């Protein structure tokens, strides 16, 4: 059946229903390369005469750099360059608040701050040369916590940030105080999160080459075009003098967004030596100087009517920026407002501050502020349900947003199946049955979250563009700059193009980002690639398909409106003159269109800009064109002898519109749950003198199979996003967001101990239970355990 026979309004949905590629498992186009070891990651890049770099880092949380003696390092055989801050452009750079130099000039501001770097013929020599650099420091008073940073008269991390406040904003939309006065039930609490490291299997790395007046950089960055702009600033070069090529990426999770100094230092070494240089972080480098999740302290206040309708929310957020800003300013904004698109609040009020400390700088991490917000606000909702005597799923259903809802911040909700997610999560975990027959030391909890499908943060643009070229051998080449970070994004884009063109996914190639060769793109962030880039690729494929059918119409003597493409062949009906049905392979049509007088290639160009607003300074504005939702529920069992937590069952139901490729979507949800459990119960460092005491995996425990739920249910809501490609929207981050809050509330339900500060360790739970066993206090049902 030709898709052109479908009504125009239902064309996209009709194609999704008709295509054998939409909603079905499709093999990853990069799968064979990865499992056979042929994929080329950052450390696999090899260029002629390449050198290797290493970095000398500050041992002090705060100190003045008095002098740097590099003479012994320069004399070491095999060393070709030693650089310090004097060799840089001496320009501060950063995504939102430029505040970091590539190498320290006058002061170091955290343990791990970059002081000098070496390029040598081999890595061992480069590291040995770093040990030979002598730096004279004058230690300065440091601030090692939010409280120390905000204390009156505290030492300033940056002289241009009075009170150590890097960014501050607030709002009161709807008159929150008046609504609290009219509320029957008010709950309050304070919760804190901790730094969480991305811990990607591959560390950050770069290979740089200076040729003529141009710097080429092969980087495992999630955002090649955005990173290029920042690298050019840091290097003191015009944008045209910097080229960024994305290598294969072994996981990103927000940590490879181009906010750290690694690639910039690599480029400076390459320029000084005149030879290619490769600089790849050690795991210790990664823990000391990458940009982990921002610790936040939330004070939350919620108001409700006696029947359970939410009235108002008031929050105060203080976020630990660390020594430099990166994307923390934008993360704080999302952490302050985005969760208000979950429920029908009558009024919302907030005051948020981003605070400098002399600790590891922070930045973007999967969830982008949502997990921190959900950790606090989600537990406040759980407390409210207890006070109201209403089961959590029922309280959520009473207040959840729906399609057409508008948040106090003007988030305009198009598709929304949050209520369906809540009901299905409760059913999947058998909420009613477990409540009817409670088991000792077992607890139930539920959480919900909302996430964007792209967002406007880097200027008034959140778009993408793509080129689809059909070849004379019947294949399609998709040229797009978005990239791949391990999620299967290139496969999804190939699948969208193939479905639109009527050819096999195996016959579609998708480019890797190269700022010289591919279309402009913002990259893999904000769960945007499927929705934003998918729309651009779909439009480019539509245009290419129109050209293909126009060419075939001339060749087959049939109206283009009567032609369709299936399995790589253009088909047409029998002619009016009785001539039989016609067909021609796509490649033959393309070749015939080329090899004729004034022949033309078949090339489609598509673009899509997220139908959203650029939020103002108070974060008012519809930040995304489509929002994805999730409801998750857990049952935990607590060992009364040790406080150890076992997640016996977990259910995740996600509204991501049309599920284009179920295995890829399921993998994203399962991975998000695992990362959320790590944030909840295992991931932490012992800190000493302002830094992780042992910055490696011997001390930082990632989640393993042993802490995963004994039973894990993953489902997807029946949903369709009218502005998405074939009805799809984002899915990559949302399943992580509510996990820590759910585990904390389930523990409270099991043994009456509510943990307010991450992670939820067995020790905290044990001592909370021990305190509950002591003579009763005014603490009530639950014991507050930090």
Among all residues, which ones are annotated catalytic?
733
Cis-peptide into 436, omega within 30 deg: no
Question: Any idea what DSSP says for residue 419?
Answer: H
Q: Rounded to whole angstroms, how far apart are CA atoms 339 and 393? A: 17
User: Are β-strands 107-108 and 63-69 bridged in parallel, bridged antiparallel, or unpaired?
Assistant: antiparallel
Question: Any idea what DSSP says for residue 156?
Answer: P
User: How would you class 589 by CB atoms within 10 Å of its CB: exposed for 0-12, middle for 13-18, buried for 19 or more?
Assistant: buried
Nearest to 527 by CA among 402, 627, 645, 443: 627
Question: Any idea what DSSP says for residue 136?
Answer: E
Q: Look up tokens 């880092």; give the residue.
A: 57
Q: Rounded to whole angstroms, how far apart are CA atoms 669 and 653? A: 9
Structural element, H or E, at residue 185: strand 185-192
Q: Rounded to whole angstroms, how far apart are CA atoms 19 and 217? A: 40
The alpha carbon dihedral of 611, 615, 620, 626 has a sign of: positive
Backbone angles phi, psi at 341, to 5 degrees: -90, 10
Structural element, H or E, at residue 606: strand 602-609
Backbone angles phi, psi at 451, to 5 degrees: -140, 165
Q: Rounded to whole angstroms, how far apart are CA atoms 548 and 550? A: 5
Residue 64: CB atoms within 10 A of its CB come to 14
Tally: H helices and E strands in the chain: 20, 30
Q: Rounded to whole angstroms, how far apart are CA atoms 176 and 502? A: 54
Q: Rounded to whole angstroms, how far apart are CA atoms 429 and 651? A: 6
Angle separating helix axes 262-273 and 224-235, nearest 10 degrees: 60
Bridge partner residues of 116 (DSSP): 56, 84
Contact 3, 564 (CB under 8 A): yes
Q: How far apart are the first and last CA of the chain?
A: 63
Contact 554, 589 (CB under 8 A): no
Q: Rounded to whole angstroms, how far apart are CA atoms 726 and 13? A: 6
User: 253: phi > 0 → left, psi -120 to 50 → alpha, else beta; which?
Assistant: left
Nearest to 345 by CA among 400, 384, 402: 400
Nearest to 362 by CA among 696, 761, 95, 85: 95
The alpha carbon dihedral of 38, 39, 41, 46 has a sign of: positive
CA distances for 445 relative to 212, 497, 658, 737, angstroms = 61, 41, 27, 14
Angle separating helix axes 534-556 and 489-501, nearest 10 degrees: 30
User: Are β-strands 51-57 and 277-280 bridged in parallel, bridged antiparallel, or unpaired?
Assistant: parallel
Residue 451: CB atoms within 10 A of its CB come to 30
Q: Rounded to whole angstroms, how far apart are CA atoms 749 and 765? A: 12
Local structure of 203: helix, strand or coil: coil
Structure tokens at 167: 């960014």
Angle at 375 between CA 753 and CA 394, to 5 degrees: 80
Q: Rounded to whole angstroms, how far apart are CA atoms 492 and 487? A: 9
């Amino acid at each position: 059946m030709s898709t052109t026979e479908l009504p125009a309004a239902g064309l996209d949905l009709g194609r999704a229903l008709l295509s054998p590629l939409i909603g079905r498992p499709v093999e990853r186009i990069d799968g064979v390369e990865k499992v056979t070891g042929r994929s080329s990651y950052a450390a696999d890049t090899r260029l002629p005469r390449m050198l290797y770099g290493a970095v000398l880092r500050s041992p002090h949380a705060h100190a003045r750099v008095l002098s740097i003696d590099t003479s012994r390092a320069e004399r070491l055989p095999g060393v070709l360059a030693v650089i310090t801050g004097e060799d840089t452009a001496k320009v501060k750079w950063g995504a939102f608040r430029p505040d970091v130099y590539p190498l320290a000039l006058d002061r170091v501001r955290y343990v791990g701050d970059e002081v000098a770097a070496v390029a040598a013929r081999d890595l061992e020599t480069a590291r040995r040369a770093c040990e030979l650099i002598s730096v004279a420091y004058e230690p300065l008073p440091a601030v090692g916590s939010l409280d120390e940073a905000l204390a009156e008269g505290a030492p300033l991390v940056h002289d241009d940030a009075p009170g150590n406040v890097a960014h501050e904003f607030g709002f009161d939309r709807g008159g929150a105080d008046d609504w609290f006065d009219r509320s029957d039930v008010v709950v309050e609490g304070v919760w804190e999160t901790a730094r969480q490291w991305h811990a990607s299997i591959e560390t950050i790395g770069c290979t740089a080459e200076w040729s003529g007046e141009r710097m080429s950089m092969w980087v495992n960055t999630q955002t090649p075009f955005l990173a290029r702009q920042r690298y050019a600033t840091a290097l003191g070069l015009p944008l045209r003098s910097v080229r960024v090529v994305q290598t294969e990426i072994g996981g990103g999770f927000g940590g490879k967004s181009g906010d750290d100094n690694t690639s910039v230092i690599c480029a400076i070494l390459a320029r000084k030596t005149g030879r290619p240089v490769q600089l790849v972080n050690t795991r210790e480098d990664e823990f000391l100087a990458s940009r982990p999740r921002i610790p936040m302290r939330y004070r939350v206040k919620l108001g409700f009517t006696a029947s359970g309708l939410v009235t108002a929310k008031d929050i105060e957020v203080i976020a630990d920026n660390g020594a430099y800003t990166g994307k923390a300013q934008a993360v704080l904004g999302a952490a302050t407002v985005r969760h208000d698109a979950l429920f029908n609040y009558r009024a919302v009020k907030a005051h948020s501050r981003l605070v400098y400390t002399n600790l590891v700088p922070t930045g973007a991490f999967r969830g982008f502020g949502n997990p921190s917000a959900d950790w606090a606000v989600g537990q406040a909702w759980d407390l409210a349900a207890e006070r109201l005597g209403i089961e959590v799923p029922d309280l959520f259903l009473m207040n959840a947003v729906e399609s057409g809802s508008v948040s106090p911040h003007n988030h305009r909700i198009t598709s929304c199946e949050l209520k369906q997610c809540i009901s299905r999560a409760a059913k999947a975990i058998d909420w009613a049955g477990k409540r009817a027959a409670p088991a000792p030391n077992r607890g139930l909890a539920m959480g919900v979250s909302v996430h964007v499908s792209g967002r406007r943060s880097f200027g008034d643009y959140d778009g993408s563009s793509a080129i689809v070229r059909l070849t004379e051998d019947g294949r399609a080449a998709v040229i797009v700059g978005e990239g791949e970070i391990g999620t299967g994004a290139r496969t999804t884009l190939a699948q969208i193009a193939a479905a639109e063109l009527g050819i096999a996914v195996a016959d579609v190639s998708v480019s890797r980002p190269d700022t010289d060769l591919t279309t402009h793109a913002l990259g893999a962030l904000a769960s945007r690639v499927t929705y934003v880039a998918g729309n651009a690729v779909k439009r480019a494929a539509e245009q290419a398909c129109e050209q293909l059918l126009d060419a075939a119409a001339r060749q087959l003597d049939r109206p283009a409106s009567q032609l369709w493409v299936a399995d790589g062949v253009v088909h047409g009906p029998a002619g009016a003159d009785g001539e039989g049905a016609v067909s021609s392979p796509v490649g033959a049509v393309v070749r015939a269109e080329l090899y004729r007088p004034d022949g033309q290639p078949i090339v489609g160009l598509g673009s899509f800009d997220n139908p959203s607003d650029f939020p103002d300074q108070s974060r008012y504005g519809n930040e995304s064109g489509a929002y994805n939702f999730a409801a998750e529920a857990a049952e935990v069992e607590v060992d009364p002898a040790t406080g150890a937590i076992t997640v016996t069952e977990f259910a995740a139901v996600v509204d991501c519109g049309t599920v284009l490729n179920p295995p890829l979507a399921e993998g994203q949800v399962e991975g998000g749950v695992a990362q959320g459990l790590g944030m909840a119960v295992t991931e932490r460092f012992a800190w000493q003198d302002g830094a992780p005491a042992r910055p490696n995996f011997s001390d930082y425990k990632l989640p393993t199979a042993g802490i995963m739920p004994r039973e894990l249910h993953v489902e997807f809501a029946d949903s369709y996003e009218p502005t998405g490609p074939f009805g799809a929207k984002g899915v990559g981050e949302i399943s992580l967001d509510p996990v820590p809050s759910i585990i904390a509330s389930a523990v409270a339900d099991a043994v009456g101990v509510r943990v307010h500060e991450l992670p939820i360790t067995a020790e905290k739970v044990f001592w909370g239970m021990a305190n509950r066993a002591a003579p009763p206090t005014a603490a009530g049902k639950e014991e507050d355990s930090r």
